Amino acid sequence: RPQTCTESAVPAASDPCDTAAKQAAAEAYCRALRDPQGDYAACFDDVAPEELFESCVFDHCAEPSLACATLQLYEDQCRNRGELDFTSVVDACGVCHGDGSACRRTCVATGDPHYQTFDGTWYDFQGQCEYVL
């Protein structure tokens, strides 16, 4: 049997945007879904953004980290319609609004025999070596 949801009897529980500051911050975060000059503008004719804009604002007010998933949902809908002319909010490392630095690794050598590889593994040995990727 189908499940149904009902509105909460507590007004604040059904509207997480309970302050003007929260509302403004959420609208600023989600504005790409309305910006005619923004990354998603080319997709507006294929996928109407208004419903997802409202969801994004709601999600951001409730828990800001949730709003990224709404932007990703819009991106997925655009891709499904063949629109690929935008930069994703998720970087190559899987970080929302990231800059790609989260997945960068470095190789470290300390002291005479201590080495840490790109994958975080430590080796201790004397002598010459070559680390091949």
Q: What is the pLDDT of residues 27-67, one digit of tens each?
A: 999 999 999 999 999 999 999 999 999 999 999 999 999 99
Question: What backbone phi and psi angles, to 5 degrees, belong to 92?
Answer: -60, -20
pLDDT at 125: 74
- DSSP-derived pairing of the beta strands 114-116 and 108-110: antiparallel
Widest pairwise Cα distance in the chain? 72
Q: What is the pLDDT of residues 80-133, one digit of tens each?
A: 999 998 999 998 888 899 988 887 777 777 776 777 777 667 777 777 767 666
Give 92 or 73, the one with higher predicted confidence: 73
The three-state secondary structure class of 122 is strand
